[in-house]
Amino acid sequence: MKTSLIFSIAVILLSFSFIQIISAFETEQEPEPPQIPQPSPAPEPIKMPDPAPTPDPFPGESDSDKVQRLTDENNKLKQENNNLQNQISSLKNEKSGLKAEISELNDSIQNLKEITMEQIRVIMELVNKMKDVLFEKIFTNTIDL
């Protein structure tokens, strides 16, 4: 009994020391990096619904009626195009006429400028002559006294 008691105490002590050694190994180990999570599967793309066929804009119309209607629309568009081209050409003519009028106006303005400058020169000459006459009469009268 003594031997079994000593043997059981020795086993208990050895198991405690073994547990301590194992726990010491576990605490000394470096932690492993966390595992990279696996990517989740990509969702399936949303499919566009199939477009409904466009309805016939003129139901019940025969091919010859369609051709006639399109021919009429084409002729109308050609007429509108011709009208617009005529308007453009008339605007071009008006533009050239306006350019001629503008050049005439510019010439008139230039002539008026020249006339005005000549009038200013004449007025300046008259002022100078008047100044000379006034000074001569005033000074000569005061000097004679």
Each residue of 108-144: pLDDT tens digit? 999 999 999 999 999 999 999 888 888 777 766 666 5
Q: 69: Cβ–Cβ under 8 A, 6 or more apart, which residues? A: 58, 61
Cα separation, 33 vs 53, in Å, equals 58
What is the rounded CA–CA span in Å between residue 68 and residue 143? 110
92 neighbors 84 (Cβ within 8 angstroms): no
* Residue showing tokens 């139901």: 59
Q: Which of the residue ranges 29-33, 45-49, 104-108 has the most confident prediction, judged by mean pLDDT?
A: 104-108
Q: What are phi and psi of 29, to 5 degrees?
A: -75, 145
Q: Check if the beta carbon of residue 66 is closer than 8 Å to that of residue 58.
A: yes
- What pLDDT is attached to residue 87? 92
Instruction: Give pTM, 2 decimals.
Output: 0.37
Distance CA 99, CA 119 (A): 30
